[in-house]
Amino acid sequence: MDSFQSCQSTAHTRTLFDAVAARLPSRLKLASQLTSAYADAPVHSMTVSNVMGGMRGLPCILWEVSGTDKDGITYHGRTLSELQGLLPSWNGSSQVSPEAMLWYLYTASVPTRAELEAFSADLLRRSTLPAEVEEFCDRISSDISSIAQMIMCLSVLAPSSKFTAALAQGVPKMQLWRYALEDALDSTARVPMIAARIYINKYREGKHPDALLDPRVDLAENFTRLIGRVGDADFTELIRLYWGLHMDHGANVSAHTMRLSGSAWSDPYLTLASGLISGTGILHAGAIIQALRYNQGMLSALGTEPSDEAIEEYVTKTIANGCVVPGYGHALLRTADPRLEPIVHFLNCRPPQEDNEGAAMLRLIRLTTAIVPDVLRKHIPRMKSHAPNVDSLSGCLMYAQGLDVDFILLVMACSRGMGFMAQYVWDRALGLPIERPLSITMDQLMAQL
């Protein structure tokens, strides 16, 4: 097969294929050292709490692109704030380029300006959708949720997988990563195009704006052009911010689901679909919508300028009713969610231009984030983190920028899919095996104690 030959480097500019290939020998050496010299070395003393608590706190999933612990997340050893100072922005933008973040996740290196521009151009070249996918997407009822439509379209894209074709042709195992990377880049470019098409069909009655893809701009701006937000700088910057922030957060539910599917050598398109399915749950990405709905309810009940006492009473009643206060706490983090800071900074620099319900919710959130943590500490002291998380604000900000509630998760899904594909490719490059943990019943567990 020669599908990746068109992506080979020019005389002067390194491609993503080159950068991954250059990093691969050192990572293979480390993997070999771990499995040969330290195969039987203990890593963690597993407890009943680890088993009964959904593997929480158990370091058992190898993650190449990032490491997450109670203090936050690092990407190849660097924090999010460090990367915001290191990674380049697109021309005229104040946000880290999502393409630059993606390059970094794949390679652990900061792209040069030439590499970034060539990478962006390659993604644009790959963004054309097969005609059958466009036709299928256009036939889906607009009543179906945006996420469900994307899952369906990814399933239709699956037969175009170059990774699957390579498997059928008997490509050697240690060369499969190249075809996985082909699919990864194709999906990175295509998913935003599908999302834009879903948006047009769902919210603009299939009437596409006159704007065409512009080779001079990045994927985020082309996406905003295609959904009819041409020239909307604030919205384009928000998309860049969110796509950069949400690419990877370790082995959370959606990413772990994709890694599990990918470990069986499912093709990247169906692997992405599996992650989107798991991401809809309200204990994971669906919490973004739960937080938005909760803030809508509080705004309706208390008005735009509630007192501290009114907010405390509202939240206390929520807790007394046995309900979760969405947007607070985290399964792993025990400090403030590091993804919140750049979102708050964006909001301070680019407040909503319209005084709508979304803008009123954002003003309310400024009040609640100062009050709710203390209320949670008072009434739920066993809660391991009372700090606001990224869900508390992210959906509300997109809503304030004019996105319908149903479409918000799909914007996030574009980012998570882009970022996870770096892990998918490295799993193939390192030759990692299928996931197959032991299962154990409670009776068997008790018998061992």
CA distance linking residue 136 with residue 149, whole number of Å: 10
CA distance linking residue 128 with residue 350, whole number of Å: 32
Specify the pLDDT at position 339: 86
The hierarchical CATH code for the domain 107-282+405-430 is 1.10.580.10
Specify the pLDDT at position 205: 87
Residue positions annotated with a catalytic role = 284, 330, 391
Is the domain spanning 285-401 CATH 3.40.50.720? The answer is: no
Specify the pLDDT at position 389: 87
CA distance linking residue 90 with residue 100, whole number of Å: 9
Range with lowest mean pLDDT among 58-72, 300-314, 425-439: 58-72
Q: What is the pLDDT of residues 31-47, one digit of tens each?
A: 999 999 999 999 999 99
CB 60 within 8 A of CB 437: yes
Contacts of residue 81, Cβ cutoff 8 Å, sequence gap at least 6: 338, 341
Q: What is the pLDDT of residues 183-198, one digit of tens each?
A: 999 999 999 999 999 9
Q: What is the pLDDT of residues 315-335, one digit of tens each?
A: 999 999 999 999 888 767 667
Structure tokens, 93: 């933008």
Average pLDDT over residues 173-183: 98
Please name the amino acid found at residue 339. Answer: R
The count of other CB atoms within 10 Å of the CB of residue 151 is 20
Specify the pLDDT at position 70: 74
| pLDDT over 50 (residue 7) | no
CB 342 within 8 A of CB 401: no
CB 332 within 8 A of CB 68: yes
Please state the domain extents for the chain. 107-282+405-430, 285-401
Given the DSSP bridges, would you call strands 66-69 and 78-79 parallel, antiparallel or unpaired?
Answer: unpaired
The count of other CB atoms within 10 Å of the CB of residue 441 is 8
| pLDDT over 90 (residue 112) | yes
Given the DSSP bridges, would you call strands 72-75 and 66-69 parallel, antiparallel or unpaired?
Answer: antiparallel
Q: Which residues on neighbouring strands pair with residue 69, listed in sequence order?
A: 72
Specify the pLDDT at position 364: 93
The count of other CB atoms within 10 Å of the CB of residue 345 is 13
| pLDDT over 60 (residue 214) | yes
92: alpha, beta or left, given left = phi > 0 and alpha = psi -120 to 50?
A: left
Q: What is the pLDDT of residues 274-311, one digit of tens each?
A: 999 999 988 888 889 999 999 999 999 999 889 999 99
Residue 127's closest CA among 195, 229, 201?
195
